[in-house]
Amino acid sequence: MTLVDSHLHVNFEGFTLTKLVKYLDQEHIDLCWMLTWEEVNSGYWDYKHLSVEGVYDVFLKYPSRIIPFYAPDPHRSDATLQMETWFQKGIRGYGELKATLNWNSQQMIPVLKTARKLKMPIVFHMEESENRDMPYSSKIWDKVLFYGMRSENKIYRIPRKILLVLEKYYTPLKNRKKSYFFPGYMLDFASLEATLVEYPDVNFVAHGQMFWKNISAEGIDHKEAYPNGQIVIDGIIWRLLKDYPNLYADISAMSGLNALQRDTPNAKRFLSLFQNKILYGTDGLMAGQREFLKSLGLAKEALDKIFGENAKHLIGLS
């Protein structure tokens, strides 16, 4: 069995190159998909630029184990040129796509056509829009240094409960914007389905909280990213995976793992039914995905597909 981690980043959440190689060796990972994260219009939300240069550098060092992906932000006027250029250098897929767009946005059309032309699978992240608390900016932190928080050029964070008190009296904090609107990533299911229909020869690999929480059709709380509880009614992703041969999903991060762990009998049913559509992945979060999959008593053929054969197939290695 070839073991493939289909969702990894380097220099993300402490996952340095050294830790990456150690992980691949210790876990006996044969191949991994190495993904970028690029947004040209990022706002206040958490974002860490993970460059194609960083991915390509790892690929050059370990070409037999790294499958490089790159998703230039569709907002870029040169997105398709970047896809073509890096494809010639060895990029094998488009991912991770985390763009503040709907699938039917005009910016997506040239990207989708180019992915079809280059036969690139698309790894995408779905996340709902919402109002979020505004983070405290570095400028505000600098302005509260007179409270004795600087030592050897280091800044020590003030506990949130103290900040809430300071907001009442300290003008920069008192007048600061308290919240912002996060527009979400790759909304929505209706436009996703229309895209699956329009581009049947492009393979899409789904990931993210919005996708996986919809493993259940009931009790979906917009604010709850990782819902719990038994699955009584199958959610929309069951139908989409069943109806569209070009839709796949990876189980990486807490989103995928939580969706399966919340209802073990249904997890076994889901993975058995969609054994040709599911990819093993971690997103750098080794939270017991492999052990959980093995504990379900799935057929060896199903496990082999999920652990590597499906990922290899999508990039033309099987």
pLDDT digits (tens, 9 = 90+) for 95-130: 999 999 999 999 999 999 999 999 999 999 999 999
Q: How far, in Å, CA of 20 to CA of 10, rounded?
A: 7
Question: Do residues 162 and 290 share a domain?
Answer: no
Domain count, the chain: 2
The CATH number of the domain where 8 resides is what?
Answer: 3.20.20.140
With both helix axes pointing from N to C terminus, report the angle between 52-61 and 17-26 in degrees, rounded to the nearest 10: 50
Question: Do residues 54 and 199 share a domain?
Answer: yes
Q: What is the pLDDT of residues 128-148, one digit of tens each?
A: 999 887 765 544 444 444 344
Question: Do residues 147 and 88 share a domain?
Answer: no
Lowest mean pLDDT among 78-82, 87-91, 164-168, 212-216: 164-168
User: Regarding predicted confidence, which is higher, 277 or 229?
Assistant: 277
Question: Do residues 39 and 166 share a domain?
Answer: no
Question: Do residues 210 and 170 share a domain?
Answer: no
DSSP letter for 91, please.
-
Measured from the Cβ of residue 52, the count of other Cβ atoms closer than 10 Å reads 22
Nearest to 57 by CA among 97, 89, 24: 89
Nearest to 99 by CA among 88, 112, 113: 112
SS3 185: strand
Question: Do residues 92 and 221 share a domain?
Answer: yes
Please give the pLDDT value at position 286.
75
Q: Residue 42's domain spans which residues?
A: 4-132+182-314
Q: What is the pLDDT of residues 18-73, one digit of tens each?
A: 999 999 999 999 999 999 999 998 888 889 999 999 999 999 999 999 999 999 99
